[in-house]
Structure 1
């Protein structure tokens, strides 16, 4: 058993955002299990705000640092995935908060919320690490 946990811990440490994805997935599952629309809206909304602000801050810093050197298409590639994930996670949160627990819309909303908040975490981490690779790319041009 120790061997399996060591391999799993090594896998988690390879990418820093994997811990966050597991935590967000567990949070979404716990919110689903509570069967409370009010708690889902409150805790899910706070989670969405934190993840969204982190992703927006990383995208803004990456855009600001490289404003003069990047093409508008690259700016769209920086901002569009986060905007889409933010809109879809807010839609999932809306579905989970508006419909009765156990209904099809509630389940779809919980799944959408969980996946898209995890995507916001991945995007924030990737944008944070993309700063150095974008600098290397722009210097090579």
Structure 2
């Protein structure tokens, strides 16, 4: 089968509404659907956003565990984290380390300038260690 035969067949299927081409992604069979498939990470974000905005997840309700979401949507840990970070940036969820993620905005925090260092939880002055003289001169230790 030649390349032109395949192109003509896809063109005919596209005109009939049976397939849809997505730039830089490929051509997908749509069947009864009107849109192309959605990436699992985007589906996760959209499903959680819909659950929060519809009220099925009320402010303060815990979100499913990360492992649960990874299994349900087939995502890697970093992809799952990035998807949840998008929702946090939108103010739809908040996170307490060691306790989990929860629906709704978190407790009010004063905005921090990107030019200010984070608060240190240590008391007292910071120690700035200097390299030994031997290291500065690239000599072996005595």
Q: TM-score, length-normalised on structure 2?
A: 0.28
Give the number of the structure whose residues are more often helix, by fraction.
1
Higher RCO structure (Cα 8 Å, ≥6 apart): 1
- Structure having the higher strand fraction is 2
TM-score where L is the length of structure 1: 0.28
